[in-house]
Structure formats: C-alpha cells, structure tokens
C-alpha cells in the first residue's frame, strides 16, 4: 500500500509495474460533490495507468447487485429513490465489525466508460459469490476487472 507521496515519487522516477491493484477505493465517497469525486477518480486512474506496464486489477463494489440489500458480509441500506442508472450514496453495514460506512453505487457503464477513457480493455471479469450460495451467483459483493493497457498507436 502506497501513500500519495510514495506514489508521486514512483511516477516521477517513471517506475513501472507489470500489474497494479486498485481495490475498493472507487466505492468510497471520496468527496462531497460529484465533480470533486470525478476529479479524484481521474487522478487515481492517471496514477495507476502511469504505474502500470501491462495489467491493472480493479476491484469495486459490484453494481449489478447493489439492489440486493443483504449478503453474508454486509447489509446495504439504500435510499427510497435508488435507481441503478444513477450514482447513489448509500449506507453499508459491515457484519464483521458492526460498523456502518457510506459507499457510492455507480452503474457498470460508468466503469466501462472510465476504462475506455484511460485506454484500458477488459480482459476478464470476476464476480465474487455469496458464500451461502452453492451454485450460480445470486448475490455478489465485489466485481474484479482484469484490465490491460491498450497499445498507443
């Protein structure tokens, strides 16, 4: 785990890694306004694409299952006006700690467009499975994108 100063130092030295992991940071509110959140997301994406020589592993809260309010890990408390297509702030209660926190739901298309903007192609998508399910995916807390940097032409 790198802090901001360490990340900036690696970028200044033009350090490259075969793979870069970005886990769950894009699920968090990051800032009060949508404009500020997008600015921070763009900074994060610029940093990880600069540090990656080839692959980026991006883990986010699975937007396809936000509406399923309970899993074995957490309870999602959605606003009454929840709409899958809209960026929505909601409360998540984590069973293991008993704590509540805010997360941000964004539709899958948000991530697809973000990856395209940063010249990344999706090589694989993995959806975690709720451990109480024995077959199929009926609920999923996280989605993992294996991304590859496209060659610049």
pLDDT tens-digit profile of 62-95?
Answer: 999 999 888 889 999 999 999 999 999 999 999 9
- CA dist 116 and 38 (Å) reads 15
Q: Please tell me the predicted confidence (pLDDT) of residue 26.
A: 93
Q: Please tell me the predicted confidence (pLDDT) of residue 130.
A: 73
Whether residue 85 contacts residue 107, with contact meaning beta carbons closer than 8 Å, is answered with yes
Q: Give me the chain's average pLDDT, please.
A: 91
CATH assignment of the domain containing 30 = 3.40.50.150
95 is a domain residue:
no
pLDDT confidence tier of residue 151, bands split at 50, 70 and 90: confident
132 is a domain residue:
yes
Instruction: Tokens 């809209």: give the residue.
Output: 86
- CA dist 32 and 9 (Å) reads 28
pLDDT confidence tier of residue 133, bands split at 50, 70 and 90: low
3-state secondary structure string, 10-31?
HHHCCCCEEEEEEECHHHCCCC
Number of domains in the chain: 1
Question: Model's pTM, two decimal places?
Answer: 0.88
92 is a domain residue:
no
Q: Please tell me the predicted confidence (pLDDT) of residue 3.
A: 82
54 is a domain residue:
yes
Q: Which domain holds residue 124?
A: 15-64+106-149
pLDDT at 4 over 60: yes
Q: Please tell me the predicted confidence (pLDDT) of residue 47.
A: 94
81 is a domain residue:
no
């Amino acid at each position: 785990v790198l802090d901001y100063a360490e990340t900036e130092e690696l970028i200044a030295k033009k350090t490259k890694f075969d793979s870069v992991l970005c886990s769950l940071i894009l699920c968090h509110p990051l800032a009060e306004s949508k404009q500020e959140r997008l600015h921070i997301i763009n900074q994060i994406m610029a940093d990880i694409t600069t540090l990656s020589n080839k692959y980026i592993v991006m883990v986010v809260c699975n937007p396809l299952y936000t509406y399923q309010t309970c899993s074995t890990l957490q309870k999602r408390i959605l606003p009454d006006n929840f709409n899958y297509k809209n960026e929505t702030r909601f409360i998540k209660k984590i069973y293991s700690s008993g704590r509540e926190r805010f997360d941000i739901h964004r539709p899958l298309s948000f991530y697809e467009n973000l990856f395209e903007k940063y010249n990344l192609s999706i090589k694989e998508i993995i959806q975690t499975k709720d451990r109480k399910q024995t077959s199929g995916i009926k609920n999923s807390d996280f989605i993992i994108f294996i991304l590859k940097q496209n060659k610049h032409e």
